[in-house]
Amino acid sequence: MLTVPTDEPTRRHEARRAGAQPDRWWRTGAVYQMYLRSFADSDGDGIGDLPGALARLDHLVELGVDAVWVNPWYPSPMRDGGYDISDHRDIDPRFGTLSDAEAFIAGVHRRGLRVIVDVVPNHTSSDHRWFREALDAGPGSPERARFHFLDGRGPDGSEPPNDWSSAFGGSAWERVADGQWYLHLFDSGQPDLNWQNPEVRADFVDTLRFWLDLGVDGVRVDVAHGLAKDPTYPDNGGIAVPRDRRDLVDHPYWDRDEVHVLIREWRTLLDGYDGRMMVAEAVVSPTRLPAYLAPDQYHQSFNFDLLEAEWDAWGFGEVIVTSHASAAAVGATSTWVLSNHDVMRHATRYGLPHGTDHARWPVTGPHTALDAAVGLRRAQAAAMVTMALPGSVYLYQGDELGLPEVWDLPDDVLEDPTWRRTGGAMRGRDGCRVPIPWEETGPSLGFGPSEGWLPQPGAFAGLAASRQAVDPTSTLSLYRQALRLRRELLVDDEALTMLALGDDVLAFERGSGVMCVANMGTSAIALPDGEVLVTSAPVAGGLLPPDACAWLAPRTRSAPVVTPPV
Ligand code: GLC
C-alpha cells in the first residue's frame, strides 16, 4: 500500500486540511509546466526523470510559482512523447518508480506548491494490455468494443471506414491483420478508446482515484474535447483540425455535447476530495468553452486564445476582455497561456511576421524573416501581461529563461510523429522540447551527466539558469520579480479595467490600482503617472520603448510592496 509522506507540511497545507476555508488555489495560481523528459536527468540516460526533477525543485520556489503540472510520466513506448500510455497507473522506468513519484509529490508539497498530473482518457498506447487483447480477440469481441474497430469500405474492405484524418497527418484509421480498422485521432500507436463502453468509463475513474489518493492536487485532462465520437462515423471532409477554432461546431468527434456527461462524473469524484482541481485541454470554439467551466464541469480550462494571438494591442485586448468575461459568467477564472509543449515557443513566434504559419515555417521559411531579439523582448513583455491579469497563468518550462524554439534540429533526431506522418511537411514539436540549460558548461549544460535526448544549440549556454540567476537584467530575474509582485499585489481580487492609452497600447488596471502597460507599437510611449514597479525594458524619462511592458503602482500608495497573504 502506497502512502503519501506528510512530513513538514506547510502552513497552507495545514489550513487546507483543517478546512478553514474552501481552498480554490487554482483560481489565481501560477502553474509551471514541467516537460519531465527535458527538465533534469539524474542518471545520465539523456532523459529527464523524477529524481532529477526533485533535485531541481527549488528553481520553482525561487521563481515564485504555486504549482507544477507534469507532462505524462506513465509507461509508454514514447511514440508521442508519453501521451501513448501502456499503463495509466504506473511510472515509466525511464522517469523512475512510483516511490519516486511519491517522493516528488512530497517534495513539491514540502515547498508549499501543488502538483498537477496529466491524464489521458482519449486513447491508450497500442502496447496497452487492452489493445493487445483486442487484437487477439478478433472482430465483434468485447475486447474490441473498448476501442473503435470497424470494417473498411470498398468491396474488400480495403478502404478506411471514413475520411477522418489524424491530427498528426494521414488517415485516422489503421488496418490490422484480420482486415478490420481501428481509429486513432493521433498516432497509429494511440488507439482511441470507446467512451460509450462502461468499462472504459469505470477504468478512467479508477485512474483518477489512484492519482488523487497518491496525493496529487490536480489533473490536466488531455484532449478533453475529443472523447465522444458520432456513432455513425460520418465523413467530415478529412479536416482534422480547422485553422480557426470558431469552425469547430457540429463536428463528428471534437467538442460533442456528450462529453459533458463524462466530465460531471469525474467532477463528482474530485469533489469528494479537498482542494483538488481538473484543468481541461479543450480545443474548442471560444463560444463553447464556458460549457466546460460550469460548476459541475472543469475547475478551469486552458485558454489558447492568447497563445494564438498575434503581437497586437487590439487583438490581445479583445482576447483578454472576452476570456475574462466569459469565464466570470460561469463563476470561473480565465487561464493565460503563451506556450506549451505543442507549439512553437513564443520567443520565436513573436519574432516572425504576422500571418506566419508557425507549424510550417521551419520547413517553408523564409528563415531570414526571424528577428530573434524582437521575439525575446515581446516574449518578456507578453509574459508580464499574462502575469498581471486576473486568473491563473501557465508557464512552460524554459519560458523563464527566454528559450527560443530550436526549429533547425537535425532531421535524424526528430521524434514527433508529425514529422513522419506529414512526410516532412511539418517538423513537429521537438523544437520546444529541447532539454533545459541549467549551467553554462557540461555535456548537456547541467541537464544531466551526459548528452540529452535532443541536442541543445550553442546559444543555450548563454541562457543557462545559473547565469541568469545572477544577472538582474535577465529574463529569469524579470520572471522572479514579476511573479513575486503578482503574489503580493495582484491575486487578491479578480477586478480588471481596460485603459485606453492609445491604439498600440495594451493597458489595464487591477483592483489594487496596479496598472499594466504594454507598448505593442513601433515608437516609445509616455507612461501614465505612477510608480514603476517592474519593466521588461529600461524606462528613461517616463518613456516605455516598443515591445516592452511596465507595471505601475498608483502614487498614493505609500509603499509598493505589501505583506503577502498567508
Ligand atoms: C494533447 C497533448 C499533445 C499530444 C496529444 C495526444 O494535445 O498536449 O502533446 O500529442 O494530446 O495525446
Atom 3 of ligand 1, residue of closest alpha carbon: 342
222 lines ligand 1 (CB under 6 A): yes
CA dist list (Å): 11 to 60, 112, 349, 514, 540: 18, 8, 40, 28, 42
pLDDT of residue 555: 85
Q: Assess whether the C-beta atom of 396 lies below 6 angstroms from ligand 1.
A: no
What integer pLDDT is reported at residue 223 of this predicted model? 97
The span from the CA of 81 to the CA of 79, in Å, is: 6
> Does residue 69 contact residue 32 with C-beta atoms inside 8 Å?
yes
Task: Say how many CA atoms lie within 13 Å of 119 toward its Cβ.
Answer: 28
SS3 call for 479? helix
* Whole-number Å distance between alpha carbons of 460 and 440: 8
Query: What b/e sequence results for 208-227 when a residue is b if at least 16 CB atoms lie within 10 Å of its CB, and e otherwise?
Result: bebbbebbbbbbbbbbbbbb
How far apart are alpha carbons 384 and 482 in whole angstroms?
7
Rounded distance, CA 537 to CA 528, Å? 16
- Mutation to probe ligand 1, out of 86, 117, 184, 186 (largest number of atoms < 8 A from CB): 186
What's the pLDDT score for residue 19? 45
User: How remote is the CA of residue 341 from the centroid of ligand 1, in Å?
Assistant: 9
Please report which confidence band the pLDDT of residue 22 belongs to, taking 50, 70 and 90 as the band edges: low
Closest atom, ligand 1, to C-alpha of 123: 12
Q: Identify the residue with better confidence: 20 or 342.
A: 342
Q: Tell me the average pLDDT of the chain.
A: 94
CB 297 within 8 A of CB 291: yes
pLDDT band at 418 (very low <50, low <70, confident <90, very high): very high
Cell for 333? 477564472
Separation in Å, CA 125 to CA 85, 210, 280: 5, 19, 21
d(CA 218, CA 44): 30
pTM of the shown model = 0.94
- To test the pocket of ligand 1, the residue of 70, 80, 116, 420 to mutate (highest count of ligand atoms within 8 Å of its CB) is 80
186 C-beta closer than 6 A to ligand 1: yes
| pLDDT of res. 20 | 52
Assess whether the C-beta atom of 430 lies below 6 angstroms from ligand 1: no
Contact 246, 288 (CB under 8 A): no
Q: Pick the residue with more confidence: 295 or 18? A: 295
Three-state secondary structure call for residue 119: strand
Give the pLDDT of residue 308: 95
514-535 pLDDT, tens digit per residue, is: 999 999 999 999 999 999 999 9
Give the DSSP letter of residue 288.
Answer: G
Q: What are phi and psi of 216, to 5 degrees?
A: -70, 150
With a cut of 90, say whether residue 242 has pLDDT above it: no
pLDDT beyond 50 at 456: yes
Upper half-sphere CA count for residue 561 (Cβ side, 13 Å): 7
pLDDT in tens, 313-348: 999 999 999 999 999 999 999 999 999 999 999 999
Q: Ligand 1 mean position to 184 CA, how many Å?
A: 12
Report the pLDDT value the prediction gives residue 245, as an integer from 0 to 100. 81
Element containing residue 114 per DSSP (H, E): strand 114-119
Q: 515509466: which residue's cell?
A: 92
pLDDT over threshold 50, residue 230: yes
382's CB contacts (< 8 A; 6+ apart) are 306, 311, 338, 346, 350, 518, 549
Name the more confident of 322 and 16. Answer: 322
Sheet of strand 496-499: strand arrangement: 496-499, 505-510, 515-519, 548-553, 531-535
